[in-house]
């Protein structure tokens, strides 16, 4: 899958021994395509394993992955999740058995938590801010959508903006 915007240009590569169905927004997704949140990630693909298990893979590519950019990435991944569900419904494929989100970035300040302000390093009692929630997603390698959880796999892109996630 490719990011075409000049700022974040690059490609991510995946390999699968199983059949896959590519799901991708055309350049800029319409409000209908991205449904309610009007955001979409770079693309998705549905992997259908030999035993019939359906695994939905979602990809978002970022140049710099700051806390605010990661919050946007989570919204874009969720938008692509809903768009993928719509495609799967039209094809009468049902719901995915598993959802895996991938984020490929060139740089981030989220890996080194000690450089973040103290209030961002620890969950505050009784406070559920969007920033703290996103940091927990990053740390726990799991994103919560409205009605499911998605595993999160992160990858640092090379100088050309590419990342190879390998065989899935």
pLDDT bin (cut points 50, 70, 90) of residue 69 is: very high
Ordered by start, the domain boundaries in the chain are 2-167
As a residue count, the chain comes to 168
Is it the case that residue 113 has pLDDT exceeding 70?
A: no
Count CB neighbours of 141 within 10 A: 12
Average pLDDT over residues 116-132: 64
Burial class (CB in 10 A: 0-12, 13-18, 19+), 109: middle
Point out the least confidently predicted range of 19-23, 46-50, 77-81, 153-157: 19-23
Average pLDDT over residues 89-108: 95
Three-state DSSP at 128 gives: coil
pLDDT of 70 reads 93
Is the CB of residue 79 less than 8 Å from the CB of residue 34?
Answer: yes
pLDDT of 22 reads 86
Angle at 39 between CA 31 and CA 146, to 5 degrees: 105
Is it the case that residue 143 has pLDDT exceeding 90?
A: yes
pTM over 0.75: yes
The CA distance from 132 to 125, in Å, is 11
């Amino acid at each position: 899958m490719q990011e075409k915007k000049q700022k974040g240009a690059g490609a991510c590569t995946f390999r699968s021994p199983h059949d896959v169905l590519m799901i991708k927004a055309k350049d800029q997704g319409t409000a209908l395509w991205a449904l309610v949140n009007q955001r979409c990630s770079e693309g998705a693909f549905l992997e259908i394993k030999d035993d019939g298990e359906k695994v939905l893979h979602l990809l978002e590519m970022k140049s710099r992955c700051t806390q605010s950019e990661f919050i946007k990435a989570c919204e874009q991944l969720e938008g692509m999740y809903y768009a993928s569900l719509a495609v799967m419904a039209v094809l009468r494929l049902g719901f995915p058995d598993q959802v895996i989100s991938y984020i490929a970035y060139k740089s981030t300040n989220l890996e080194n938590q000690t450089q973040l302000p103290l209030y961002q390093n620890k969950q505050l009692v009784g406070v559920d801010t969007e920033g703290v929630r996103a940091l927990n997603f990053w740390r726990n390698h799991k994103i919560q959508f409205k009605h499911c959880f998605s595993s999160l796999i992160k990858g640092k892109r090379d100088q050309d903006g590419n990342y190879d996630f390998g065989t899935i």
